[in-house]
Amino acid sequence: MKKAILIALLGFFFLNTTYAQKYFGKTHTPTQNVDEFYDLEDVEKEYTVMGKTELAKGFRSLEKTQQKIIDLAKQKGADGVIFSMEEEVYGTSNSSGGVINEKKKNKTTASSSSNTIDLKKQKIRATFIKYK
């Protein structure tokens, strides 16, 4: 019984810290509607930046991640969110191989190939704004 409770608590704390969304900025009275923007130039009203959040991993669905950010923006009292998505190359992976073909006597052919892949991670950044 004690082991089950301990495992449940550890699982809760692990999930809670894994998917915790970090926010840096001011908090206002919660709002019900948040405008979504994908470029700074799309915002037509005057505004101030109230805070920022970033998700670098742990998201499987962009739509669900976007909704999580909008929900956080409502909690923090934002009037709008300016989204951006970036890919960061954090390394490369190289692989190579070769083939030797001996079809005929005294005639051997060899070929080789090489492949390089950039290892990338996506980041979703959101700037929370408050209209003036």
Contact status, residue 49 vs residue 40, Cβ threshold 8 Å:
no
Contact status, residue 36 vs residue 116, Cβ threshold 8 Å:
no
Tell me the residue range of the domain where 16 lies: 2-131
- Count the domains in the chain: 1
pTM, full prediction: 0.64
Beta strand pairing call for 35-37 and 80-104 = parallel
pLDDT digits (tens, 9 = 90+) for 52-103: 998 876 667 888 889 999 999 999 999 999 999 887 777 878 887 777 777 7
pLDDT given for residue 4 in this prediction: 55
Q: Which two tokens stand for residue 93?
A: 């992976």
pLDDT digits (tens, 9 = 90+) for 12-49: 544 444 445 789 999 999 999 999 999 999 999 999 99
Give 32's DSSP letter: S
pLDDT given for residue 7 in this prediction: 56
In order of 14, 17, 49, 89, 125, the CA distances from 81 in angstroms are 28, 24, 10, 26, 10
